């Protein structure tokens, strides 16, 4: 019996303990087995009421397996034994039904329904006791809710009242809506935000209230929104004051622990565009950088939006450690606010080292890297990065009778990132409308094997940006050049591999890739808030072109083709178009259970100067982030059947990609999480290549060539990173389409050949 079977039997054993889950339930008490909500109004969702239930059943893994309660139940009562302590700590004690908590749940749900407009809602609780279990059902009779019949704005005479009255014409409140306090409060916040963005710094939502006029015989409500007047210290009514920005003072060497000392140690003051910048001993950041990232403008009306944009913009300056913005009434004019932007210097330079073990198709080795970073190289928050890396692999096996001994790789990368859009003739207002970075990079990589030596040199120029109010992020690879040069190739390697395979010829001959690419992405994930309680999604769409300018220049200059291809300085250049789409969505059922969905597709088309996509730009299937029943680069293309296994990675790639997954994730205990997944996908070639029989995409047959796999995974969630162990099992193998592709019928046969194990860092999507 192998260890996989043992794990499965242990899993069944824990589940089978469900017959004794009441072992630790006290006498005359009952295990809370089920909580059910029955609502008679379709406008009220059960999910809205569940947070108000004060007692819920024990957590169930995958929504139906009481794993933690099972672990707790199989523990012994002798606490001196470490195994019993471990099982109890790993599991969870049974939730014992509490009538008092049930009554509290009723009251909390009534309050919630009343706030939603159902002021006369009735809730009855039914409890069924069966053996040692309690089954609770809450029946909610919503009755007739309060409905908004009319809406009126009670205007005040000052300028604020006029502003809000105009804004109220776009109110989110409508006739016929429920009298929902959440919506009423949302309207208060909306109007308050509008007022504060127009200069009313001291205004808050407490100045807005409602009068609701109801009739005893009707559920219709006449609603009046009131803007309360401002009052001075003597309780005399005064106008709500509208403030302009006076001075903007930036203190660059501020110490939040010793604020007075920070002001006393000022060394230098610079005035730039009406901004006052106070430096300490070190003028570590340029005045122009601070001014260009500040949206709070002297002389303009105060605005919360400008403050938020300034915070966001300053947070991108990686040489700053601390930023705080505060306002004080101006001593020169009581209708002005002086703004103080307080900041402190962060660590300019960092050095990071990395060491990892590698396992590529059974070949073991190691890799190491050292990264140096300077976050303020030109005193404008520019980030300079330099990285050197190297790796070694002990190679085993044979390819075309070529004995492989070892593989070495080393290289270096340098790059610099400017926190602005570097482009001539751009208006300063336009630059402030976007949050942009400009990146330059150079790279060099040297690879050595017994069969060949290969050098890959690259250079790139990229823009990253997002506009102020748009959720989309954009990336433009203005130019990205890769030069591939092979100073040495063994004759045996050339004869046995390159000359027989046009795909490998493209990768293992000198060539040039000059590409331009654009992508945009959107995500609601936010590192500054708790994402564990809400649904999360991400979307990325990208396209790139290569070789068009070089091809046009070659045609214009009437260059001669060599081997049916144009070249520049003796180098053949690649020409292709590529498009990719990637979408992921995670549905959060609660804090411990979620369902993650993923879909990705792509296509690459070589044309004119290229007959085959460059190997490094082609797609592959299988691996920890693809169809997990297969190891990396071992699936496809199409129904292609490899006889060399992992050593046939040249041929197991394609020009078209489809990938989709569904994964149910459930917390276990401590940092452990379990997942059950189903993956589907494959790659195909866009043409019928002789070395990849069965790999060409066809609308008539491609759906028959989509591979399926399923499996289980264990994850260690350490908040900052996730360690992932997945076991994928083949279900449908398109390479066996002429025989019996449904290998799900015999998943454990032939020494688990249909299983693949993966280790990775992070979720697959």
Residue 225 — pLDDT band, cuts 50, 70, 90?
A: very high
Look-up: residue for tokens 């120029």?
461
For the segment(s) 147-238, the CATH number from 3.30.870.10, 2.60.120.10, 3.30.300.30, 3.10.20.310 is 3.10.20.310
Helix, strand, coil: what percent of the chain each, to 5? 20, 40, 35
Each residue's pLDDT tens digit, 609-636: 988 898 889 999 998 899 999 988 889 8
The length of the chain in residues reads 765
Q: Cα dist. 328→334, 358, 700 in Å? A: 10, 58, 71
Task: Identify the DSSP state of 201.
Answer: T
Rounded mean pLDDT of the chain? 86
Instruction: Give me the CATH topology for the region 3-141.
Output: Ubiquitin-like (UB roll) (3.10.20)
Q: Partners of 480 in the beta sheet?
A: 460, 515
The span from the CA of 439 to the CA of 462, in Å, is 5
Q: Is the pLDDT of residue 646 over 60?
A: no
- Annotated domain spans of the chain: 3-141, 147-238, 244-345, 347-500, 533-765
pLDDT score of 1: 42
In words, the CATH class of domain 244-345 is: alpha beta
Each residue's pLDDT tens digit, 28-55: 899 999 999 999 988 898 888 998 999 9
Q: Cα dist. 546→39, 438, 558, 644, 661 in Å? A: 59, 21, 20, 32, 31
Q: Supply angle C-alpha 453, 454, 458, rounded to 5.
A: 160
Each residue's pLDDT tens digit, 79-128: 788 888 888 887 888 999 999 999 999 999 999 999 999 999 999 999 99
Q: Is the pLDDT of residue 576 over 90?
A: yes
The span from the CA of 529 to the CA of 497, in Å, is 53
Average pLDDT score over residue span 227-255: 86
Each residue's pLDDT tens digit, 275-313: 999 988 888 899 999 998 999 999 999 999 999 999 989
Q: Partners of 410 in the beta sheet?
A: 390, 446
Each residue's pLDDT tens digit, 354-404: 876 555 444 566 788 999 999 999 989 999 999 999 988 765 544 444 444
Name the packing angle between helices 181-196 and 159-168 (round to 10°): 130
The reported pTM is 0.81
Decide if 3-141 and 147-238 have a common fold. yes
pLDDT score of 336: 93
| Top mean-pLDDT range of 260-274, 350-364, 398-412 | 260-274
Residue 302 · residue 201 · CB < 8 Å? yes
For the segment(s) 533-765, the CATH number from 3.30.70.260, 3.40.80.10, 2.40.160.50, 1.10.275.10 is 2.40.160.50
Residue 329 — pLDDT band, cuts 50, 70, 90?
A: very high
Region of 670 (left: φ > 0; alpha: ψ -120 to 50; beta: rest) is left
Per the model's pLDDT, the better-predicted residue between 755 and 500 turns out to be 755
Q: Partners of 715 in the beta sheet?
A: 673, 724
Q: What pairing do the DSSP bridges indicate for beta strands 472-489 and 567-568? A: unpaired
The span from the CA of 404 to the CA of 451, in Å, is 8
Residue 578 — pLDDT band, cuts 50, 70, 90?
A: very high
Q: Which of 36-40, 429-433, 486-490, 701-705 has the lowest mean pLDDT?
A: 429-433
């Amino acid at each position: 019996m192998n260890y996989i079977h043992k794990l499965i039997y242990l899993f069944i054993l824990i589940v089978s303990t469900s017959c004794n889950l009441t072992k630790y339930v006290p006498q005359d008490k009952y295990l809370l087995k089920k909580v059910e909500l029955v609502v008679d109004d379709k406008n009220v969702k059960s999910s809205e009421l569940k947070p108000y239930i004060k007692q819920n059943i024990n957590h169930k893994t995958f929504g139906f397996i009481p794993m933690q309660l099972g672990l707790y139940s199989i523990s012994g009562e002798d606490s001196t034994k470490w195994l019993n302590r471990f099982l109890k700590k790993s599991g969870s004690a049974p939730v014992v039904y509490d009538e008092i908590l049930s009554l509290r749940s009723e009251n909390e749900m009534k309050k919630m329904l009343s706030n939603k407009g159902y002021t006369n809602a009735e809730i009855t609780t039914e409890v069924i006791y069966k053996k040692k279990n309690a089954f609770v059902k809450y029946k909610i009779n919503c009755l007739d809710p309060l409905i908004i019949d009319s809406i009126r704005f009670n205007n005040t005479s000052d300028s604020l009242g006029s502003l809000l009255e105009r804004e109220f014409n776009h109110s989110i409140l409508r006739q016929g809506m429920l009298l929902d306090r959440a919506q009423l409060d949302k309207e208060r916040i909306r109007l308050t935000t509008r007022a504060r963005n127009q200069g009313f710094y001291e205004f808050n939502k407490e100045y807005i209230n409602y009068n609701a006029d109801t009739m005893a015989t009707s559920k219709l409500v006449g609603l009046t929104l009131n803007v309360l007047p401002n009052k001075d210290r003597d309780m005399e009514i005064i106008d709500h004051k509208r403030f302009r920005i006076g001075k903007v003072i930036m203190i660059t060497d501020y110490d939040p622990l010793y604020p007075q000392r920070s002001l006393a140690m000022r060394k230098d003051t610079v005035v730039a565009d009406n901004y006052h910048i106070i430096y300490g001993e070190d003028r570590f950041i340029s005045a122009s950088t601070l001014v260009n990232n500040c949206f709070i403008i002297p002389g303009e009306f105060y605005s919360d939006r400008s403050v938020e944009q300034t915070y966001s913009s300053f947070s991108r300056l990686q040489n700053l450690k601390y930023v705080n913005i505060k306002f004080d009434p101006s001593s020169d004019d009581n209708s002005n606010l002086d703004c103080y932007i307080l900041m402190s210097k962060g660590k300019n330079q960092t050095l990071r080292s990395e060491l990892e073990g590698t396992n590529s198709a059974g070949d073991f080795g190691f890799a190491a890297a050292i990264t140096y970073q300077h976050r303020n190289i030109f005193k404008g928050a520019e980030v300079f990065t330099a990285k050197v890396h190297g790796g070694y692999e002990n190679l085993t096996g044979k390819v075309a009778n070529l004995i492989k001994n070892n593989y070495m790789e080393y290289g270096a990368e340098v790059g610099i990132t400017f926190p602005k859009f570097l482009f001539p003739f751009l208006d300063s207002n336009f630059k402030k409308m976007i949050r942009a970075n400009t990146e330059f990079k150079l790279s060099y990589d040297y690879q050595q094997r017994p069969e060949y030596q290969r050098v890959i040199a690259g250079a790139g120029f990229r823009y990253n940006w997002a506009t102020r109010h748009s959720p989309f992020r954009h990336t433009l690879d203005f130019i990205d050049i890769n030069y591939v040069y092979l100073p040495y190739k063994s004759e045996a390697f050339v004869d046995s591999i390159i000359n027989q395979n046009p795909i490998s010829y493209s990768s293992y001959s000198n060539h040039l890739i000059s590409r331009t690419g654009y992508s945009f992405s959107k995500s609601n994930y936010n590192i500054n808030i708790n994402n564990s309680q809400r649904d999360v999604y991400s979307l990325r769409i990208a396209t790139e072109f290569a070789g068009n300018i070089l091809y046009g220049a070659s045609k214009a200059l009437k260059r001669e083709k060599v081997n049916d291809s144009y070249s520049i300085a003796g180098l053949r250049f690649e020409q292709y178009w590529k498009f990719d789409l990637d979408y992921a969505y995670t549905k959060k059922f609660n804090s411990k259970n979620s369902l993650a969905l993923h879909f990705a597709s792509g296509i690459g088309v070589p044309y004119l100067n290229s007959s085959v996509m460059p190997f490094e730009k082609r797609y592959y299937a299988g691996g920890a982030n693809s169809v997990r029943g297969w190891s990396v680069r071992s699936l496809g293309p199409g129904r292609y059947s490899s006889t060399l296994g992992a050593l046939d990675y040249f041929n197991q790639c394609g020009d078209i990609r489809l990938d989709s997954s569904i994964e149910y994730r459930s917390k276990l205990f401590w940092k452990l999480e379990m997942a059950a997944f189903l993956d589907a996908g494959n790659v195909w070639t866009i043409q019928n290549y002789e070395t990849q029989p069965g790999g060409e995409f066809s609308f008539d047959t491609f759906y028959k060539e989509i591979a399926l796999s399923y499996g289980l995974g264990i994850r260690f969630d350490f908040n900052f990173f996730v360690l992932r162990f997945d076991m994928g099992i083949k279900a449908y193998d398109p390479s066996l389409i002429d025989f019996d592709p449904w290998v799900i019928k015999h998943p454990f046969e032939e020494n688990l050949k249909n299983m693949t194990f993966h280790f990775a860092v992070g979720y697959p999507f």
